[in-house]
Amino acid sequence: MAKHSGDDQIGSVGRQLLDPIAVILEDEYGNPTGSESVQFLVTAGGGSVEPENAYSDARGIAQTYWTLGSEPGNQNNEVWAINS
């Protein structure tokens, strides 16, 4: 799993970021893996993500939309691939 897009965005407190946070899942040969479960978790700064759990599409991409917390400053999240 690797970052795909949406990293390092700047937004207003309490508002949803313009672009989704997305990761890409690939197998050991670099081929995208679809239908894999991913969990997004806000770890600093508050706020929320929707959905918290997503599945990668045929291109291996899983994404969520992040609404920032109510306090200014850095906000972080973690993403976990969930093995079935």
pLDDT digits (tens, 9 = 90+) for 12-39: 999 999 999 999 999 999 999 999 999 9
pLDDT digits (tens, 9 = 90+) for 32-66: 999 999 999 999 998 999 999 999 999 999 999 99
Is the pLDDT at 84 greater than 70, yes or no? no
Q: For the whole model, what pTM was predicted?
A: 0.90
- CA-based angle 48:49:51, to the nearest 5? 140
